[in-house]
Chains A and B, each alone.
Chain A
Amino acid sequence: AQTVTQSQPEMSVQEAETVTLSCTYDTSESDYYLFWYKQPPSRQMILVIRQEAYKQQNATENRFSVNFQKAAKSFSLKISDSQLGDAAMYFCAYRSAGGADGLTFGKGTHLIIQP
C-alpha cells in the first residue's frame, strides 16, 4: 500500500516571502500521479498542482512549483510571493496511474501567512 508523509504539521511565512512544504511518499509502482491540494477554511478541496511521475520536468502553476525527486520519493511544494489568500491546509496526495483508485493523502500542513 502506498503511504504519503507530510512531516510539517504547521508552517508560518511572512507575506511576500517564499515557503516550501515537504512531502515524501512510499510506493512500489513506477507510474503514478502526485498532487497538492489546498483546503481553505471554507473546506473546499482545491487542486493546486499536479505532477505525472513519468515527466522529469517539475510542474509549475504561476506562484506554485514543485520539486519532484522520483528516486528519493520526494515531492515538495514551493509557494513564491506568499499572499494572505494562501493561508490554508495543504495536502499532498498520491494516485496510481490506472483505474479508479482514490487519492492517498498525507496528514496535511497548516500554512499560516503573517501580514
Chain B
Amino acid sequence: DTAVSQTPKYLVTQMGNDKSIKCEQNLGHDTMYWYKQDSKKFLKIMFSYNNKELIINETVPNRFSPKSPDKAHLNLHINSLELGDSAVYFCASSHWTASYEQYFGPGTRLTVT
C-alpha cells in the first residue's frame, strides 16, 4: 500500500499553462506539506496544512495555490507556469502531535517548456 502518493509523476507543459498536482495520504495524518526541489537538488518548504487549514506559506509566488479538500488530500495548483517553475515537487505528511516524522511522496517532476 502506498502511504503518500502523488499524481502525476511526470508533467511536461508549456509556459503560461495552468496545471495541478494531486497528493493523497492513507496514513491517517492531519498535517500535509509541499516541498520544491530545484535543479541543484535544493529542497525547500512551500506550504504546510493542518486539518485543511494553511499553517505555513513560505515566500512562494501567488501563482501557486494549495487546496486541501480533506485531511487526506493536498493538491497544488499552479497558474501561468514559468520556466523557473521546472522542478520536482514533493508532498509529505505527518501527525501534528508527532510531526517530527514526515513521510514523503515519490515526487512529481514538472518540466515547463
- List chain B residues, Cβ under 8 A from A65: none
Interface size counted on chain A using CB atoms at 8 A: 22
Bound CA–CA A12/B35 (angstroms): 28
Bound CA–CA A89/B109 (angstroms): 17
Q: Does B7 contact A (CB under 8 A)?
A: no
Bound CA–CA A43/B91 (angstroms): 13
The reply to whether A100 and B50 contact each other, CB–CB distance below 8 Å, is: yes
Q: Whole-angstrom distance from the CB of B88 to the nearest CB of chain A? A: 6
Q: Whole-angstrom distance from the CB of B101 to the nearest CB of chain A? A: 7
The reply to whether B50 and A107 contact each other, CB–CB distance below 8 Å, is: no
Query: Which B residues form the contact surface with A (CB < 8 A)?
Result: 31, 33, 35, 40-45, 48-50, 55-56, 58, 88, 90, 92, 94, 96, 99-102, 104, 106-107, 109
Query: Which A residues form the contact surface with B (CB < 8 A)?
Result: 33, 39, 42-45, 47, 50, 52, 89, 91, 95, 97, 99-105, 107-108
